[in-house]
Structure 1
Amino acid sequence: MTPTQLRAFASVVRLGSVKAAAAALGVTEAAVSLHVGQLRKELGDPLFTRTGSGLAFTPGGLRLASRAVELLGLQDRTVLEVREAGEGRRMLRLASTSLFAEYAAPGLISLFADRAHDLDVELSVHRAGDFEQLLLTRTVDAAVGPWPATSDGTITSRLFLNYQVLTVVGPGHPVTRAQPSLAMMREQTWVLGPSAADDAGVVPTMVQRIGVPEDRQQIFQSHAAAVEETKHGGGVTLALGFAVAQDLSSGALVRVPGRGLAGQGSWHISLLGGQQATPAAEEMARFVTTPRATQAMLRGGAVSHGRFKPAVHVTLWS
């Protein structure tokens, strides 16, 4: 078995078809079929068969799928550790939701990096629903966002910060003249950050609870851009309470009161359990709960990426 063969088979299992696996890997369907065929021949097992409703995996195929994820994750981790050892540096691969990445991550990473000059931090933005798979495949070392769905002990999570999401508008917006009903709020134009398109979290939950029609939603590339548009009368937005506190105080934004127009959220840091987490991930999990880290995150919106000492790579995933 080779890593290429295992990666092809693991992609077929994860995506449910040879065609989808080929597209994800950037190779031809024939290449994926060839790798799977070589595994079948070597292991003496068909691994899966095609049915009218998709692929049906044999017991051996399911066992190989589980082992392939472990082996590929171990390979990636080994390559990373060898490279880090050769360069005298460590790497922390941190996944987060877009809301945390934009507002809290800059201050946290900047302060964390000041404590460990041999550490590089790679930050990537993902949907919260992808965190479990990213951790189990060792694609990332830690993930920050809502509490993960898993409860079997393979992933451990720790709460480190609660936050509030408020409905806000610019001064002079019609909804500020009287406490609006939800029906009135549904008729407004909503300018929202990328977290509104996530599959979990406070913002998408509030959008759904309020019942905002899709044709009334405008999704911006950043939450800051949505807030700026709102200041100029562009519509209604959902914003982090601590991030817009100064604008509310100065009158640049106005909070819209009403039932369902405010929400409470929490950020958790999740990593592999059972002593499988990397030392850097465990170090971050301890640090993120400290008062200094909390203060840095609450001030994080004012920290420029250019001030980061580590190499920070932000990847947006749709």
Structure 2
Amino acid sequence: MTPTQLRAYSAVVRRGSVKLAAAELEVSESAVSLHIGQLRKELGDQLFSRTAGGLTFTPGGLRLASRATELLGLQDITVLEVSAAGQGRRLLRVGASSLFAEHAAPGLIELFAGRAADLDLELSVRNPCTFVESLIERAIDIAIGPPPLSPDPAVSCRPVMYYRVVTVASPDHPLAGTQPTPRQLREQTWLLGPSAVSGSGALRTLLRRLGVPDDRQQIFQSHAAALEEAKRGRGVTAALSFTVAPEVRKGHLVQFRGPHAAIEEVWHSMTLAEPATPSAAGELARFASTPRAIQAMMRGTGVGVARFKPSVHVTLWS
């Protein structure tokens, strides 16, 4: 697949016809048809067919439509990155677990990025189980989240920040004001963020320790979304203690007490062992465990609208 082929296909999807796609791209209809034909041959899929009501896409065609948008978006980012590198700018690629990325990374990265005018930072959410592989393959420069289950001599790992995951629910929840037993917690409906399906991390460890069955777990796109559902009284959720403390103090949430309802863990930074570690990655690994950085992670500095640059899988600070 070439970018030209993907752009032609995306235009057909967007416009609903080869004729309109050709007009948008300022090429001939035969050129667009040629690109579509090449994609069909390479992928072994018809992708779409013409009907009286317009174009009808196959399941494979719909899948390619979303992937084409992602790939073209990444191509545009790469062009910008190469151009920036040619102007002397550095790029630091940070991979993070979903829990860290959602709640702690914004404050840390905003603070760190402000220290170097020539540095761009790219944050991507990754499964902690892939941290070591991503570092070795040079897909990222530094990973932050749960440490690897098995140490790897190629990767340097250092502690960043202790954190506590607690179990909370609406004040109207039947167990509010009690110290529930493991069995009572196990029988609840758990409203969870994406880190619940990763292979490691405090939230996953808590669920395993309690033995919460899969049919009692509801997974949401973000931990904040799961927390909002818990506030509405639809179940219990596990959350970072420092993120829910204000809501607990205001009485908007109740925190369950007892050793079974909470767990403490440590986020670690992981980089390739020296001398393979990029200098910026080493700087961030050292900076992340400082008191100032920890304060920023817990309180957040916010990202100004002019500096927030979303893309398909990554967020860029520059």
Q: TM-score, normalised by structure 2?
A: 0.70
Distance (Å, rounded) in 2 between the aligned partners of 1:172 and 1:81: 51
Q: Secondary structure at the match of 1:121?
A: strand
- The answer to whether the 8 Å contact 1:120/1:312 transfers is no
Aligned to 1:275: 275
- The answer to whether the 8 Å contact 1:142/1:269 transfers is yes
Distance (Å, rounded) in 2 between the aligned partners of 1:291 and 1:314: 32
- The answer to whether the 8 Å contact 1:123/1:314 transfers is no
Aligned to 1:135: 135
Written as runs of structure 1 = structure 2, the 5 A alignment for 1:174-185 is 174-185=174-185
Written as runs of structure 1 = structure 2, the 5 A alignment for 1:163-174 is 163-174=163-174
Aligned to 1:56: none
- The answer to whether the 8 Å contact 2:193/2:221 transfers is yes
- 249-258 or 128-137, which moves further after superposition? 249-258
- The answer to whether the 8 Å contact 1:132/1:150 transfers is no
- The answer to whether the 8 Å contact 2:178/2:257 transfers is no
Aligned to 2:211: 211
Alignment deviations for residues 23-42 of structure 1 (CA, whole Å, 9 cap, x no partner): xxxx9699xxxxxxxxxxxx
Aligned to 2:155: 155
Distance (Å, rounded) in 2 between the aligned partners of 1:227 and 1:298: 17
Distance (Å, rounded) in 2 between the aligned partners of 1:222 and 1:81: 28
Aligned to 2:313: 315
Aligned to 1:146: 146
Aligned to 2:25: none
User: Unpaired runs of 5+ in structure 1?
Assistant: 1-26, 31-78
Written as runs of structure 1 = structure 2, the 5 A alignment for 1:248-287 is 248-287=248-287
Aligned to 1:69: none
Amino acid at match of 1:250: K
Distance (Å, rounded) in 2 between the aligned partners of 1:164 and 1:242: 8
**Deviation (angstroms), 1:186:** 1.9
- The answer to whether the 8 Å contact 1:167/1:239 transfers is yes
**Deviation (angstroms), 1:274:** 2.6
Q: Secondary structure at the match of 2:284?
A: helix
- The answer to whether the 8 Å contact 2:146/2:201 transfers is yes
Amino acid at match of 1:277: T
% identical aligned pairs: 49
Distance (Å, rounded) in 1 between the aligned partners of 2:281 and 2:103: 20
Distance (Å, rounded) in 1 between the aligned partners of 2:99 and 2:219: 13
Q: Secondary structure at the match of 2:99?
A: helix
Aligned to 2:118: 118
- The answer to whether the 8 Å contact 1:95/1:125 transfers is yes
Written as runs of structure 1 = structure 2, the 5 A alignment for 1:179-198 is 179-198=179-198
**Deviation (angstroms), 1:85:** 3.5
Amino acid at match of 2:305: G
Alignment deviations for residues 97-117 of structure 1 (CA, whole Å, 9 cap, x no partner): 000000000101111111112
- The answer to whether the 8 Å contact 1:164/1:240 transfers is yes
| Structure 1 residues 315 and 275: alpha-carbon distance in aligned structure 2, compared to 1, 3 A threshold | same
- 222-231 or 134-143, which moves further after superposition? 222-231
**Deviation (angstroms), 1:179:** 2.4
Q: Secondary structure at the match of 1:306?
A: coil
Q: TM-score, normalised by structure 1?
A: 0.70
Distance (Å, rounded) in 1 between the aligned partners of 2:273 and 2:312: 25
| Structure 1 residues 173 and 81: alpha-carbon distance in aligned structure 2, compared to 1, 3 A threshold | closer
- The answer to whether the 8 Å contact 1:110/1:308 transfers is no
Over aligned residue pairs, what C-alpha RMSD do you find? Answer: 2.5
Aligned to 2:230: 230
Amino acid at match of 1:131: F
Q: Does 1:303 align with 2:302?
A: yes
- 128-137 or 179-188, which moves further after superposition? 179-188
| Structure 1 residues 142 and 223: alpha-carbon distance in aligned structure 2, compared to 1, 3 A threshold | same
Distance (Å, rounded) in 2 between the aligned partners of 1:81 and 1:229: 39
Distance (Å, rounded) in 2 between the aligned partners of 1:202 and 1:112: 26
